[in-house]
Amino acid sequence: MHTLFVYAHPEPTSFTGALKDVGVDTLRRAGHTVDVSDLYAEKFDPVAGRHDFTSVANAERFHYQTEQAYAYKTHSFAPDLVREQQRFLKADLVIWLYPIWWGGMPAIMKGWFDRVLAFGFAYADGRRFDTGFFREKRGLLCLSTGGTRQRFSDDGVYGDIRTVLWPAQRLMIEYLGMEALEPFVAYGAPRVDDEGRKAYLQQWRARLNGIAKAMAAGGAAPTAKSDSVLHSQ
């Protein structure tokens, strides 16, 4: 199995960074191969524009999807997008790791979706969801939050975590035809003590080992119980 970690956090010693490091170590120890797109370290540009392309479909008016489709046909995406697209194509499992900021993903991660998963390359008319290009791939969100699990519950101030994550789960991962696995959420990461963080990391390691074993055996990735996946502290 080959996994791509798409990681977005500006601080290498962050808890999100620890989740990335443990994830990479776990899968490599299990004999699997790994790529890491460290968006901040690699200075990934999240801003879409004509710099995304080495060709021009229409010099008079910039329409992003038109330029993406033309670049796909003419093999003229910018080098940084070619690199990320090749990493994505190689992966059986794609894991996006980021902290929830303002109810969603950091801008640099959203820009990765905007620019890398281009029209023509990642989706097209009639090729979405059940007819998407990447039905053999699986996608997994690994997230840290500042808020507690209670705040991300039905009666919490932020609303249920599944509602918060719906745009990424349904309108990004499943949109591509991928199987969206149950997210791993480390609630209140800045507020838990060392023992709590160690527990999160142990649970994350166990989750990945379970997914890797199931995928290597050709079976469905296990769906962990909510109490062990959407963790509480």
Which CATH number fits the domain that encloses residue 6? 3.40.50.360
Q: How many CB atoms lie within 10 A of CB 197?
A: 16
Q: Tell me which of 3-12, 25-34, 126-135, 152-161 is least confident.
A: 152-161
Q: What is the C-alpha to C-alpha distance for residues 13 and 3, in angstroms, rounded to an integer?
A: 22
Work out the mean pLDDT of the chain and round it to a whole number: 93
Residue pair 140/91 in contact (Cβ under 8 Å)? The answer is no
Query: Nearest CA to 137 among 93, 180, 96, 169?
Result: 93
pTM comes to: 0.93
Rg (CA), the chain: 18
Residue 225 has pLDDT above 90, yes or no: no
Each residue of 2-29: pLDDT tens digit?
A: 999 999 999 999 999 999 999 999 999 9
Q: Tell me which residue range forms the domain holding 192.
A: 2-229
> Quick one: tokens of 227?
């109490």
Each residue of 39-86: pLDDT tens digit?
A: 999 999 999 999 999 999 999 999 999 999 999 999 999 999 999 999
Q: Collapsing DSSP states into helix, strand and coil, what is residue 170?
A: helix
Q: What is the C-alpha to C-alpha distance for residues 175 and 169, in angstroms, rounded to an integer?
A: 8
Residue 232 has pLDDT above 80, yes or no: no
The domain tally of the chain equals 1
Q: How far apart are the first and last CA of the chain?
A: 32
Q: Tell me which of 38-42, 71-75, 183-187, 213-217 is least confident.
A: 213-217
